Structure 1
Amino acid sequence: MGHERSITQIKYNREGDLLFSVAKDTVVNVWYSVNGERLGTYNGHTGAVWCVDVDCILDVLSADNTCRLWDCQTGKQLAQLKTSSAVRTCGFDFSGNIIMFSTDKQMGYQCFLNYFDLRDPQQIEDNQPYVSVPCSESKITSAVWGPLGEFVIAGHENGEINQFSAKSGEVLKKVKEHTKQINDIQTSVDLTMVITASKDNTAKLFDSTSLDHIKTFKTERPVNSAAISPIMDHVVMGGGQEAMEVTTTSTRIGKFEARFFHAAYEEEFGRVKGHFGPINCVAFHPDGKSYSSGGEDGYVRIHYFDPQYFEFEFEG
């Protein structure tokens, strides 16, 4: 188990042997992905933790208005960046040298996207990002690095997707294909595509450089998270309702399943049961042979695909 409250994000390290999970209970856990055994915990946050990213160091963001950097191996906290409002998204660029994170629009503070260069200790010490981008129109709800670390692709509360330059912070491209909030953005393994999960009951595939809209995957409920398989033309989606809308009367089976779609044909071909509430996050293992999901029920579930999955031929 490891968490007492709902899971907010899960993230594999690049090799895939470790799985990190964060939740609304202030705890950051790391597990062996092969058997689900808990390896350790990173303690220190005092509020709900919204986001985690891992390079050789660990970057964790929280509603306690801090971004914290940990040494993955020792669990030692390396740095703490204070913010004016809760921190919502985070990520290392591919080199692991630059981190980006966004803050929430709340308590009179507006949303900012901040970039820190970890090679310059002064920036960390002074709590001064080299670029800070105000997002006054609509707050950032999820964000990932684009290819080559040249820009960040951010999803917003109003359904917009923006590319923010990592050098100047300016908006390079902007599209609006979703009608409601974007809950999650994840990249393909080669960073050429991103998939967005939205409250408008769809997940969409985009070219990460041009932001051209490629595919749409439709469901009947809000999509909280979506991931692209590194080896198959498949996407997995998790969702359900928001926690506050879940009532005891609506326990119809099938509402909280992970759903698999073919990336080219946009057709659903499989569902996996397990969670007792909405799925908040999904992630494929880097080798594509398993996937994990984190739910409102506080559980992280690791699923291994059986051999038939890899032999499956989709007839569109």
Structure 2
Amino acid sequence: MRPLLLKGHTRPLTFIKYNVDGDVLVSCAKDHRPTLWYADSGERIGTYKGHNGATWSCDITRDSTRLVTASADSTVKLWNLTTGECIFTYEFDIPCRSVSFSLGEEFILLTTDAFMGTPPAVRILKHSKNVEDIKQNDEVLYIDNAHPGRITRAIWGRLNEYFLTSCEDGMVRKFETKTGKLLKEVKLHEKSIQMMTMDKEGYTIVTASLDKTSKLVDADTLEVLKT
């Protein structure tokens, strides 16, 4: 794959997400406007207009029809990936950080930042392909007592049975989805974990940290396989 230089944002990038087919990607930045690009040529397809704060992360449905974005403006927005139309907005009173569709896309895993005395939290929101069935404040799980600092990323585990969070304290935590029970926590880094992602089969994760290391980790045991 030849390297591409994509120019379109006016402020620093925060997140990049390819669709499953790998033919398009979405970039998020502090300039409020997520942007859609062709992956092979780097041509900009368009921007998603509606956020009033930095967009920290995004995810794309497997059929590449819908995009979800999380923003510092305290909203999570659902978009038509192709047309750029905003089809629904989840509204909160605290900055939103990380978003991820579940397997089957019935749920959205969301993290929110600490703000005005409210602790950092993990939320699971209901999602539906039918927009009329999506509702505000429709949460099936809320955890606000497990993270002492900012949650930088949250990702689903295999079959949605658990999810993992990374934090600015260098910890990765594993939670049971149905109950929210903390199953395991391991300190993997000496400084903030900036990014965490899982392989397609769901067996390993990769972390990247401000301590200048990246680790390959077993997703079940959280044992470090390689640094």
1:133 aligns with 2:139: no
**Alignment match, 2:126:** 117
SS of the equivalent of 1:172 reads strand
* Aligned mates of 1:109, 1:191 — CA distance in 2: 32
Q: Which of 75, 78, 101 is 1:69 aligned to? A: 78
Amino acid at match of 2:224: H
SS of the aligned residue for 1:152 comes to strand
CA separation in 2, counterparts of 1:3 and 1:86? 21
Q: Which residue identity lines up with residue 42 of structure 1 in the other structure?
A: Y
Q: CA deviation at 1:123?
A: 8.0
Deviates more, 1:46-55 or 1:73-82: 73-82
**Aligned residue for 1:11?**
17
Maintained 8 Å contact 2:126/2:138: no
* Residue matched to 2:97: 88
Give ranges in structure 1 of 5+ residues lacking alignment.
217-316
CA distance, structure 1, for counterparts of residue 110 and residue 175 of structure 2: 12
Q: Note the alpha carbon deviations across 1:197-218, whole angstroms, 9 max, x for none.
A: 11112111111112111111xx
* Structure 2 residue matching 1:143: 3-state secondary structure: strand
- 1:131 deviates by 0.6
Number of the residue aligned with 2:174:
163
2:155 to 135, 144, 148: 144
1:1-316 alignment, distance < 5 Å: 1-55=7-61, 56-119=65-128, 124-134=134-144, 135-216=146-227
Partner SS for 1:148: helix
My pick for the range that moved more, 63-72 or 165-174, is: 165-174
- Larger RCO, structures 1/2 (Cα 8 Å, 6+ apart): 1
Structure 2 stretches lacking a partner, 5+ long: 1-6
Deviation at 1:151, TM superposition (A): 1.5
The two structures, once aligned, show a CA RMSD in angstroms of 1.7
Q: Deviations over 1:113-136 (max 9, x none)?
A: 010121497984232311111145
Q: Does the CA contact (< 8 Å) of 1:92 and 1:100 recur in 2?
A: yes
CA contact 1:123–1:130 (8 Å) conserved in 2: no
Structure 2 partner of 1:248: none
Alignment deviations for residues 231-272 of structure 1 (CA, whole Å, 9 cap, x no partner):
xxxxxxxxxxxxxxxxxxxxxxxxxxxxxxxxxxxxxxxxxx
Percent identity between the two aligned chains? 36
Q: Distance in 2 between matches of 1:144 and 1:126?
A: 22
CA distance in 1, matches of 2:72, 2:21: 29
Aligned partners of 2:46, 2:177: CA distance in 1, in Å? 33
User: Does the CA-based 8 Å contact 1:81-1:124 persist in structure 2?
Assistant: no
Matches of 2:159 and 2:73 in 1, distance apart?
A: 31
* Per-residue deviation, 1:194: 0.3
Separation of aligned partners in 1, 2:136 and 2:103: 24
When residues 87 and 29 of structure 1 are mapped into structure 2, their CA distance, relative to the original with a 3 A threshold, is same
SS of structure 2 residue aligned to 1:130: strand
